[in-house]
Structure 1
Amino acid sequence: MADSPLIAAYTGDEQSNLPSAGVAALGGTHPGTTTGTATGSGLAPIRPGGSTPAADALVQQVAQEADADASSNRANRAPIVIAGIPLGGGATEQEENLDGGGGAHGAGIFLSRRPRILVGVSGSVATIKLTEITKLLLEFADVHIVSTKSARHFFNEAELPQQCCPVLTDEDEWRNWKAVGDPVVHIELRRWADLLLIAPLSANTLAKMANGLCDNLLTCVVRAWDSTKPVLVAPAMNTYMWESPFTSQHLTSLGKLGFVSVIEPVAKKLACGDVGHGGMASVETIVEEVRQRCVQAGLFVE
């Protein structure tokens, strides 16, 4: 599948279509995926040497029992806990149906489990789109959110889908850490997530990423990120900030990492009143790019 023209890699002075290096490194199958045919909540094993009616009936019975158990277990599923912080995770209306996801962005078959998307938000007014982004992502993925201190000015956590909360911030990094050997939040988030989406990516956080700085929870996640997993960033900033030579240098640095994809900003009237490039790409564009990366990474098939 060809990359979207909105996804760009920055290498030197030239801008070209991104080769999806981060996704390619993942290969075609998610770790833990079993070879077989998707059936309800599990994967029916392929038996060597062909099959018999009795064997087929047994497989079907096991699959049906697995479906029933999964439906029952979802309602009582324990919350996800990362470094001592409960992050929800019980059954929701968007809970995976392994015969197909719901909603316009969710059609597909999950090969092992729902994709896990970590959404980072930084200090741009485009953070007001966070609720829209998370609602659409939840149609096909599990989602948790990391916010910088500045980004908190632009959204109300009470308006977010419950299964995305609580939003993790710098204060959570060491809140439950007591001794060497205890889990560390940014490391556990790296382990949990299949893909990192930073939308919006502010000029400040872009500069930190490009230079390897890690002075808050979000940038610590980035610095500790597994380079075999994709990162998508959607810049949002004033036109003059976007056109600054610093921005070009920083994007070039990200491009050299090989696993970071940039969803190009668009030209529009910005919150400050200026008209020009720098506005964050549309919510639909961002969510579709995430979905395609999940497909390419083998997390589910269309």
Structure 2
Amino acid sequence: MKSKCGVLLCLLMSSALALANTGVAFVHGTGKQTNAASDYWQWDNINSIRQGLPDQSNYTVINCDFEQYMWDSRAAGCLAGQLTSFINNKNITDLVVITHSNGGNVMRWIMSNPTYDSRYPNIISKIRWVNALAPSSKGTPLANAVMQGNVFEAALGWLLGYQSDAVRMQQTSWMDFYNGNYLLGTSGRPALPKGFWNVVGTDVETSIFDGDSYCGGYHLNLGLEITQAWLNSCSDGFLECSSQSGAGQVWFYDTSRMRGSEPLSHNQSRRKCFGLDTILRNDL
């Protein structure tokens, strides 16, 4: 685990933040969301995290069509529009972005391509840092399997959706290309203009006798344990650890900070599980 700032930098940041108007944006992952607060993040999680704000009304929950390629007007364009409205309407000068899964790719597109859209530079200037929960920075072998159109596709429909552009984009070879040419923050590429801090999920645990297995929904965690068979031993059931840690910097691996050293499945990392909400709250 790395500290987000040194002692001197933290003192300087604390002084600056005392004068800032801080806000938080919740950016969902793959899917076309119309009510991400209820359907994706859940209100108990959002309400817990936003308690860390000086003004708890300074939050926004993004609802965009992340079934599209990250640069699409319905994906990054929609995200840029909603973030711009939030910044302007609330006069936000210090923005913490919390993303999950493919939402990290859409945020990295904005942060990596400031000349692509006239709204991007102002958004980047307001960002303090991005907290990326299980980001799919290097894609997933599960997307490879879905795009092959075999029987595995049907088994994964509930998790990824079917052959959408977002799933196509998250194939490992495709993400290698984007990372090497259009996105910043991976090894050998220039750094992102603002911090991109990863929370990495390392395993899926499902036991009917273990109450922790029910956090976020037992049936969803069970599905992720099944898909984990197609991934390497360090994975959250959807993404391998190498993908989650592939861009920016690792903030922490789940078992080092979660209550009871519990791992976070891909579903649990967007839920109020094992004290993750408290860590995110305190980070504001």
Higher-RCO chain (CA-CA 8 Å, sequence separation at least 6): 1
Higher strand share: 1
Structure having the higher helix fraction is 2
